[in-house]
Amino acid sequence: MHRPLALCLAALATALPAPGSAAAQQSFRGEYTVSFLGLPIARAAFQSRYDGATYRIDGSVASAGLAQIFDDTRGTIVASGRLARSGLQPRTFRADYTSGKKASLVDIRFAYGTVASTRVVPPPKKRGKDWVALDTGDLKSALDPIAATVVRAQSLDEVCGRTVAMYDGEMRADLKLIFVRKDKISVEGYEGPTVTCRMGFEPVSGYRQGKRALDYLKKRSRIMVTFAPLGQTGVYAPIHATVGTEIGTITVRARRFETTN
């Protein structure tokens, strides 16, 4: 699977609750399945911990079902940062994963609201003339794939109608959320209202022009993300998502979405 897309899917599979003004430590757990054409291809679990104005998320993702036969991928994701009135302010993001015997990592550090450094292993290959290079300005106010999936809003009505700048260690993309509908959902650990946004995907830099998978995501894919409120925190996190690809639809679904303390 294309690395930026894989990280986006992992991010969509993240329940990222955050406390409001409470200083007490709070912990949450989300468990998810990722399926393709109805068949399970991956599982993910995330443990989120919040202490005052800081957060830390530890997650694991592994291929499942038939996908293990063709691409046995396993990985961990760790993200941390601060909680501000304007939203999340990431400090660190690291994704370590192996596919077969090949090990890879993405390590992003933030400072003063911008990307301070990026380390990718193995290092990217030499880029051709069709490569859209990153500009320094592209990384200002950019969020890592975990922080980019969380919305702080006054109500369900204000979750959509915004554009999020996402950076995955290679590509900078804008994720535009457009309101679709409000509904209700019931999963283990949560039952209540939700809001669904259509997500527009617009690569900005750090990608190869003419790449079919990205062109499809930009021009033809139907990406839908359903957010659920997390208590009275004013934070809304993904609880369900679908991503249309050239060969079929990928679905991310929460099996468990709960407070653990």
Q: How confident is the model at residue 23 (pLDDT cuts 50, 70, 90)?
A: very low
- pTM here is 0.86
Q: Give the model confidence (pLDDT) of 166-178 as tens digits.
A: 999 999 999 999 9
Q: What is the mean pLDDT of residues 201-221?
A: 93
Domain ranges for the chain: 3-259
Q: By mean pLDDT, which of 28-37, 63-72, 80-89, 247-256 is the weakest?
A: 63-72
Query: What's the distance, CA 21 to chain centroid?
Result: 24
Separation of alpha carbons 76 and 103, rounded Å: 12
Average pLDDT of the chain is 85
Burial degree of 145 (CB within 10 A; 0-12, 13-18, 19+): buried
Using a pLDDT cut of 70, give the percent of the chain over it. Answer: 87
> In this predicted structure, what is the pLDDT of residue 24?
61
Q: How confident is the model at residue 54 (pLDDT cuts 50, 70, 90)?
A: confident
> In this predicted structure, what is the pLDDT of residue 149?
87
Between residues 19 and 41, the one the model is more confident about: 41
For the record, the structure tokens of 100 come out as 């077969």
> In this predicted structure, what is the pLDDT of residue 14?
47
Nearest to 255 by CA among 68, 18, 13, 5: 13
For the record, the structure tokens of 139 come out as 């990384």
Q: Give the model confidence (pLDDT) of 24-49 as tens digits.
A: 677 788 899 999 888 888 999 988 88
Q: Please give the angle made by the CA atoms of 150, 124 and 34, to the nearest 5 degrees.
A: 40
Q: Give the model confidence (pLDDT) of 113-161 as tens digits.
A: 899 999 999 998 889 999 999 998 999 999 999 999 888 788 999 999 9
